[in-house]
Structure 1
């Protein structure tokens, strides 16, 4: 989100004056002799040095509560994201078409377009309520309200009550609004982290973001899918088997809706928001939008935006369709979700390991080197899906070595993905104009997210269009109810997933040939090419 440039340090009070280098020059001590002033200055420096020693001995002194609160807020932010990721898996078990899955994929877009309203969140607020709490409190209340409302409607929307088929359009609208609110909460929390933490610990904000969102997504996705599964609950959590899991989506939404309401009230009442120098005044909403326009008009930024918008086309089929195809082939969705558990430590460690190498040199060189690896993983995923379909597992039971192969394949894919991710983030940090770093970074990251979302939606949309099916009773009969009425069954002669996998990989390598040179040129541009005059 947009950040304002920090103003130079100036003392705010007599306490700061008496502890700073200007102590001997304050009017109160003008009558002191030079040797007296030197003694007092030495005492002041000794006080400062003792505080520095205390900070070194306990770096988190005074910030532990704020770090815990930030972790909680980012965990809450990850819950709706995890639930959003779980819904396509639930829909796939209800034989929802890939065209309908493409419609639902629009729910991910708010995090890719939040730059459109981030300046409003940054510049408009009630000073008496708090700059960040003005948005955080009502947004989290609305998220809780949406969850409570959805808890009573989700069974009908999914078609579980038997009254009608799944209402994909309504699900898309509701979850889009839920993610819109989560994206707005993200803007507010990111901004509050800069003033909630002391300057020496402000770097912990990104750690809280990464760890908190990962934990929230884990709870909302993997834990929910496991507890919602009757098979998992019967095998590991129950002594008497039943036909349902321990929780339902409605019950899970109700629980977290209450959690959002309670925690938001506690934050509102118990956590004061301290004012900072950055909160006084401001450039205003229109000035921030004008600044964004100036950045976008830079030739280097325009060329780089084209790169970000088009570079992920080659990964679309692998990222969007592979998991759904595995579930369609008989892999239980809860087991597929649980395979993500061993990968979580890898996702936390990889960025730290990779950053040591990527940030020391030209980041986009690493990005380009990892791209062919990730493209080829798309073909490996297609082979894995084909192998899964040929196994014809009984009651969803696959051998242990099968899951081991999936886990290894997914782990290799994550290595390539995180090399590209860390490299692109390092390049964004490198080229962003320090005077408007927050706005610049938000622009580039938002465009990068958008470049990943639109290929996913298109890939899901065209799976059905590229799939060829025929009716065994009469090829002239349309697959579906008409074929079933004629006593036939539909057989797939061409699966659109394999067509997309091949086309996407070819497009990805073609992109490398056409844009690789441009990417290298962008990397070698002088820093002045990225700055607004």
Structure 2
């Protein structure tokens, strides 16, 4: 039994609403494997161009003593376009060329532009990020920020395309494609950018005869990625066909203004507001164990940059495998139950990492070099494996919920709203955590207690006076305590809310639908 609802105040077509809570459709990838491949490929490219650079470049910057945590906080803002993409998502949904395809109209030019930016990056990266001397952080920030805007636009497109590219009973696997693809791209980008360009690493592990430089240069990498983006975009433009969404029974055409009003319509539902607040604050409690922050703290404590990045890159294999193994559970009808079960363990693991970082700083220096024993690396790898497994489980659970409740007619805008809220919590907490370290850290000069060593100039003054700057209070531990307490409070405040959210049927989240809902098996009176 179905019914039709129409909002007389808007020029929208009648909508057929079916409550799928009792649907017998189960995922079956037969006939959808080629679409899975395309989605994973597109998400991989997204990971290379977007978050991969935000992991690799900060690691290269951290070994430069002229770079402060405030500089790192500034550069971490290159990921913020993912927080802001809701501002132009309605444009992406409303403007397109039908002959090209609703999603390909944006995907192809965006990826060509990314390729062009990488060509420009290849010509300037050695000047902006020299082996010695102060890097030009602002120029890198401006270009990579623009690339992030393009990647965020691609994210809007691919998330929306996934809702129609896959069969309806396979849409739950879109979150797995996202996780596997993006994480693969981040691993490729960060690993090649930091490790395979390192002379020390390549001479120690990859060469029989020592040579100058890494096996690849940063300039070559960006040029290669540029060619890759242009080539794959061309192949998709030619060979990948897009479904004509006008043929669907519930197809509704909205103009630009209506698409922006659509965001307001979505936000009118009380459940949206509660879920939005939860999503905006969900990652703050885990900021102490944020991967980008941990990379900086480990390098700062003396751990070799190459060793850190090899470990971090290997963790992406864990992140890729985890959603595949757990897809049976995270793609079920109660993804938020999985999320809530894992959350306490993430909080505990944040505490574990804080303690581990503290003991890392206690290793003694021998001839200006710290030799970390094998058991230290074994413990570090174990901690990262558990931390990343917990992280990716909660991430896939969230994205499974997003795919389940998003109205496919307005996939780009609806999915972007969810992703914006989720990304904002993740990226803003990273930026805030890195920025607060310098503010909450208190140092003093051994030769003059009036010099607090709070800036590079004051540190140089201390050294010129024959003193050394010593840390009295490390801001990392102060902020970690605050983040962990926040996380505990968040869990008890939003636990029941998230359980109630996942219990609502898909029709509850349909735009412009209020009361006309029916069950397939309901016998009307």
TM-score using structure 1 length: 0.80
Query: In the superposition, relative to structure 1, how do residues 475 and 409 fare at CA in structure 2: closer, same or farther (>3 Å)?
Result: same
Alignment partner, residue 291 of structure 1: 262
Deviation of residue 169 (structure 1)? Answer: 2.5
Alignment partner, residue 278 of structure 1: 246
Deviation track 1:168-195 (CA, whole Å, cap 9, x = no partner) reads 2222221111111112223334445566
Q: Distance in 2 between matches of 1:6 and 1:216?
A: 41
Alignment partner, residue 122 of structure 1: 93
The answer to whether residue 388 in structure 2 is matched with residue 414 in structure 1 is yes
Residues 292 and 439 in structure 1, CA contact (< 8 A), matched pair in contact too:
yes
The answer to whether residue 206 in structure 2 is matched with residue 237 in structure 1 is yes
Alignment partner, residue 464 of structure 2: 485
Deviation of residue 354 (structure 1)? Answer: 3.6
1:90 alignment partner, one of 47, 55, 60:
60
Question: Secondary structure in 1 aligned to 2:463?
Answer: helix
Deviation track 1:99-124 (CA, whole Å, cap 9, x = no partner) reads 11111111112223322212212221
Alignment partner, residue 464 of structure 1: 438
Q: Distance in 2 between matches of 1:97 and 1:502?
A: 22
Alignment partner, residue 27 of structure 1: none
Deviation of residue 373 (structure 1)? Answer: 1.6
The correspondence of residues 8-19 of structure 1 with structure 2, limited to 5 A, is: none
Q: Distance in 1 between matches of 2:404 and 2:99?
A: 37
Aligned residues: 477
Question: Secondary structure in 2 aligned to 1:330?
Answer: coil
The answer to whether residue 307 in structure 2 is matched with residue 335 in structure 1 is yes
The answer to whether residue 145 in structure 2 is matched with residue 176 in structure 1 is yes
Question: Secondary structure in 1 aligned to 2:278?
Answer: helix
1:217 alignment partner, one of 172, 179, 186:
186
2:281 alignment partner, one of 296, 310, 317:
310
Deviation track 1:28-67 (CA, whole Å, cap 9, x = no partner) reads xxxxxxxxxxxxxxxxxxxxxxxxxxxx9x9449x74x65
Question: Secondary structure in 2 aligned to 1:476?
Answer: coil
Alignment partner, residue 446 of structure 1: 420
Question: Secondary structure in 1 aligned to 2:380?
Answer: helix
Q: Distance in 1 between matches of 2:430 and 2:271?
A: 26
Question: Secondary structure in 1 aligned to 2:209?
Answer: coil
Alignment partner, residue 231 of structure 2: 262
Q: Distance in 2 between matches of 1:261 and 1:358?
A: 34
1:385 alignment partner, one of 357, 369, 375:
357
Q: Distance in 2 between matches of 1:444 and 1:5?
A: 25
- Unmatched segments (≥5 aa) in structure 2: 1-11, 17-27, 454-458, 515-525
Question: Secondary structure in 2 aligned to 1:464?
Answer: helix
Deviation of residue 426 (structure 1)? Answer: 3.9
Alignment partner, residue 321 of structure 1: 293
Q: Distance in 2 between matches of 1:425 and 1:134?
A: 25
Residues 473 and 487 in structure 1, CA contact (< 8 A), matched pair in contact too:
yes
Structure 1 vs Structure 2 CA RMSD: 3.2
Higher relative contact order by CA 8 Å / sep ≥ 6: 1 or 2?
2
Query: In the superposition, relative to structure 1, how do residues 360 and 211 fare at CA in structure 2: closer, same or farther (>3 Å)?
Result: closer
Query: In the superposition, relative to structure 1, how do residues 69 and 499 fare at CA in structure 2: closer, same or farther (>3 Å)?
Result: same
Q: Bigger shift: 324-333 or 435-444? A: 435-444
Question: Secondary structure in 1 aligned to 2:440?
Answer: coil
Query: In the superposition, relative to structure 1, how do residues 430 and 254 fare at CA in structure 2: closer, same or farther (>3 Å)?
Result: closer
Deviation of residue 146 (structure 1)? Answer: 0.9
Deviation track 1:6-29 (CA, whole Å, cap 9, x = no partner) reads 999xxxxxxxxxxxxxxxxxxxxx
- Unmatched segments (≥5 aa) in structure 1: 9-55
Alignment partner, residue 374 of structure 1: 346
Q: Distance in 2 between matches of 1:100 and 1:225?
A: 19
Deviation track 1:127-174 (CA, whole Å, cap 9, x = no partner) reads 344433322222112111111111222222235464xx2222222221
Look at both structures and tell me which one has the larger radius of gyration over its CA atoms. Answer: 1
Alignment partner, residue 447 of structure 2: 473
The correspondence of residues 96-111 of structure 1 with structure 2, limited to 5 A, is: 96-111=67-82
Deviation track 1:406-460 (CA, whole Å, cap 9, x = no partner) reads 1111122123223422333344345445665664343223211112221211111
TM-score using structure 2 length: 0.81
Higher helix share: 1
Residues 115 and 227 in structure 2, CA contact (< 8 A), matched pair in contact too:
yes
Q: Distance in 2 between matches of 1:438 and 1:422?
A: 19
Alignment partner, residue 478 of structure 2: 499
Query: In the superposition, relative to structure 1, how do residues 6 and 361 fare at CA in structure 2: closer, same or farther (>3 Å)?
Result: same
Deviation track 1:342-389 (CA, whole Å, cap 9, x = no partner) reads 534432333244443455564434433322221121121111112211
Residues 322 and 382 in structure 1, CA contact (< 8 A), matched pair in contact too:
no
Residues 228 and 248 in structure 1, CA contact (< 8 A), matched pair in contact too:
yes
Q: Distance in 1 between matches of 2:356 and 2:43?
A: 35
